[in-house]
Chains A and B, each alone.
Chain A
């Protein structure tokens, strides 16, 4: 009997845990949670900017800071704000800066596109030098899905799977006005290059002359291109010709990534910022409210009437805040009234793309 009582007491002692007491907090105290998730932007500099990632950081409080994959999967959200032909703006919520930055870097440097690499110039009597013209042609975006093509290395021959050939032949008539050469003049050649390679005179004269590319079939037989010819982005000026000047060239486009040369980068610009959060720590009324609304250049604050003629300032558009800190600069007491913060795991991403993807 005594033994059974003892074992029961032991079991009770083992199953009792200090964390089960009602007044012990299970999560982090609010000020530490604030330090972990918000960057406080003061008038002189931001504080708490580091990301507390170490798994044992809060071990003394019994809170586990390690990465739980299912926790991440449950809390992660994407909200698309805008999606047009040229650019897109969306929010990534619940992710860390390291991964958001990795996505941005990959988007700029490691996504393949097609761009003009080799330019075979037959005739150029314009004022634009050959190499400058070739450089400009390389920067023109080509509207085609790069996944349909393969990479070409130096030893490969150009064939229809790794090259796109364009031709440009413009002549400005004597006695006519000056001519602006735009990318609309670049014609796609689905059968490959038309410039013949120099062949030895004793080769078979009746065979087709070898050109700079060896296309075994025409590219416009592929279903993607049959109704939808490959073209560069239109209305970009390549050169200007005076009377009597002529440009005749062939341009070969290949697949590449932005790391090798920026002409292969699919985005014009890619940036992200943290979501701003503005909190009014005290009630700001009447004249102070009007002053606050006037100082903000992007109209973050707004006035609401709370009856009996009194006005109060509220935060209307916190997302527009550009961190100019004008609202903190009005006077000394404003630092205590307005708190500008950034949310560490909510990123507003904006990508301006060159090609419709």
Chain B
């Protein structure tokens, strides 16, 4: 849900349900790094309600597009983290096997 002045597309508050700090802090981090953003922040109106308000103010671009772009970047970052992690675990496992084999062959 987007609450904001309908005349000015560059400032808006987005209210996301069923979300908490997990997504909101990560999205706020990527939003902050975007050069089109002048202000961004998130708040949780009540901890028992699973609802997050994300406020975005930009230098002219519609806030909705900027939020979408940041979510996209976050997705790409997470995808990269996942592939790097999988590769690191595989490398570790093969290097362990190689070490175990080396110890066996020495004996």
Chain A positions near chain B (C-beta within 8 angstroms) = 53-56, 64-67, 69, 72-73, 76-80, 83, 90, 92, 95-96, 98-99, 101-103, 105-106, 109-110
Contacts and interface: CB of A to CB of B under 8 A. Distances in A.
Interface of B: 20-23, 25-26, 28-30, 32-35, 37, 73-74, 76-78, 80-81, 84-85, 87-89, 91-93, 96
A53 B33 contact: yes
A67 B33 contact: yes
Contacts of A106: 22
A102 B19 CA distance: 12
A99 B75 CA distance: 11
A322 B81 CA distance: 27
A109 B23 CA distance: 13
Contacts of B22: 101-102, 105-106, 109-110
**What's the dominant secondary structure at chain A's contact region?**
mixed
Contact of B30 (A67, A78, A103): A67
A77 B77 CA distance: 12
Contact of A102 (B23, B37, B84): B23
25 contacts: A53-B33, A64-B35, A65-B33, A66-B33, A69-B73, A69-B76, A76-B80, A77-B84, A78-B81, A78-B84, A79-B88, A80-B89, A80-B91, A80-B92, A83-B92, A83-B93, A83-B96, A90-B85, A98-B26, A99-B74, A101-B25, A102-B22, A102-B23, A106-B22, A110-B22
A105 B73 contact: no
A171 to B, nearest CB: 45
Nearest to B28: A98
Nearest to A53: B32
Contacts, number: 73
Q: Which of A69, A79, A90 gathers the greatest number of chain B CB atoms within 10 Å?
A: A69
Contacts of A56: 35
B92 A99 contact: no
Contacts of B35: 55-56, 64, 66
Contacts of A101: 21-22, 25
A109 B64 CA distance: 29
Given A55-B35, A78-B84, A96-B29, 18 more contacts: A55-B34, A56-B35, A65-B33, A66-B34, A67-B33, A67-B73, A69-B73, A69-B76, A69-B77, A78-B88, A79-B88, A80-B92, A90-B88, A98-B25, A99-B74, A103-B81, A105-B20, A106-B22
A96 B80 CA distance: 14
A274 B29 CA distance: 18
A99 B78 contact: yes
Given A83-B93, A102-B25, A55 B88 contact: no
Nearest to B23: A102
A110 B23 CA distance: 12
Contacts of B28: 98
B29 A55 contact: no
Contacts of B21: 101, 105
B77 A72 contact: yes
A99 B33 contact: no
B85 to A, nearest CB: 5
Contacts of A96: 29
A76 B34 contact: no
A80 B90 CA distance: 10
3 tightest Cβ-Cβ pairs between the two chains A and B: A67-B33, A98-B29, A80-B92
Contact of A83 (B20, B34, B80, B89): B89
B34 to A, nearest CB: 6
Contacts of B74: 99
Nearest to A52: B32
B80 A55 contact: no
Contacts of B25: 98, 101-102
Given A95-B81, A98-B29, A67 B89 contact: no
B39 to A, nearest CB: 10
A351 B62 CA distance: 41
Contact of B85 (A69, A72, A78): A78
Contacts of B73: 67, 69
